[in-house]
A and B are shown apart, each in its own frame.
Chain A
Amino acid sequence: MSGDHHNTDDSGPAARVKALEALLTEKGLIDPAAIDAIVDTYETRVGPRNGARVVAKAWTDPAYRKRLFADATSAVAELGFAGPEGGHLVALENTDRIHNLVVCTLCSCYPWPVLGLPPVWYKSFAYRSRAVSNPRGVLEDFGLELPSEVEIRVWDSSAEIRYLVIPQRPKGTAKMTEDELAAIVTRDSMVGVAKVEAPRA
């Protein structure tokens, strides 16, 4: 009863989706080709690799970084990323003193164009309930312990603003290219539940 489980057998929800799809196709309200196009978009084109490109560029291009913190929606669109749940993007900067963490307590709002669809843990009742009242405890669930002097800012996405955390660039990455940097940026670091680690030499 955790709500995090996912049904993998073919009963229950599978039958109901089939019924929905068949009925609406029969009524001429949906086009089966549109279904495949939507699935393809979120399985292959839109995902955390988009956000990683934004972060890597912000780490290597100071002018871009400035534009990103001034207007993230436009700066993200420069890289070709836009779409549903991305009309009002805001970038949050993690520093030595401030750590940002994003949640949606009322449902599971998430910045789709830059991170794709949310992972199960982000949608879980455990995360939605405790991220606001005990963020340090939640970060410990992810193995992240922050010094007590670091201020934690929790962002509850209750409206149409969608937040992207820009993690700190790890030490020892000065010689890496933008592409190499994009490859080490993780989804979790862009929600604020992890730091980016430099690759082991």
Chain B
Amino acid sequence: MNGVHDMGGMDGFGPVIREQNEPVFHADWERRAYAVVSLVLRAAQTNVDEFRHAIERIPPARYLASSYYERWIAAAETILVEHRIATREELVAKEDATVDPRQIANAVPARGPAPVKDKSAKRPPRARFAKGDRVRARNLNPVGHTRLPRYVRGKAGVIARDWGVFVFPDTNAHHAGGKPQHCYSVSFDARELWGKPTSSRERLYIDLWEEYLEPIASKPKDKTSKRKAARRTVRR
């Protein structure tokens, strides 16, 4: 989904501020939140893609106003309600009159792809791309979960490495099948992503699943095939 979580390349958040001697947790509730949410995910038999998507579905204004562990709590509540393990009313602390149950698990509904046949039992899929291949990130705008950020869509890059076969987040997040496929490290020239004024000495590496990519045919090959096609037409 094209959510506010997809932040790569946005401006306006100000400088990065580093805290000296930062503790692992800043309050006892953060400590509890980290552990409780980890256990909720285990109890609900969810997967990391579904959890990430539950965070992404927090309404944008609330997402931006929440801290990291507040977003974890909200996502855990969403998963518990959607998996019918708990109700909104149950999730409001008995002594806390300030929380309206409607504020609990108020994520936008998930709209995932239809289940695909899981071929994971068969032999691993063959790689479509190899190191050095020129590829373009496809201009996909799925309404469900995806790990293809907006800032690389439509941009041309090069396969830097094949990491092997991984389950596909876009279907796995929605329990619509693992759809295992190759995932690649794809390298982009910063000028391709951000325009000419950018330094030529910057490159971006991002890990992209095979379905996010399409091949870029090398130019000479293109011309030959066009000429051949033209000849064929003439003969006819």
Contacts and interface: CB of A to CB of B under 8 A. Distances in A.
Interface of B is mostly: mixed
A107 B66 CA distance: 13
Contact of B66 (A3, A105, A121, A136): A3
Interface residues of B, number: 79
Interface string B1-36: 000011111110111111100101111111111111
Given A5-B67, A129-B8, A151-B201, A161 B207 contact: yes
Contact of B16 (A29, A36, A121): A121
Contact of B13 (A21, A27, A124): A124
A30 to B, nearest CB: 4
Interface residues of A, number: 75
B13 A17 contact: no
A16 B93 contact: yes
B119 interface: no
7 contacts: A1-B65, A14-B27, A29-B43, A126-B17, A133-B8, A151-B203, A154-B202
The 10 closest A-B pairs by CB, nearest first: A105-B8, A159-B207, A14-B29, A19-B93, A38-B35, A126-B13, A129-B10, A29-B43, A6-B26, A35-B35
Interface of B: 5-11, 13-19, 22, 24-40, 43, 52, 55, 63-70, 73, 76-77, 80, 85-86, 90-96, 98-99, 104, 147-149, 151, 163, 166, 183, 185, 193-194, 199, 201-209
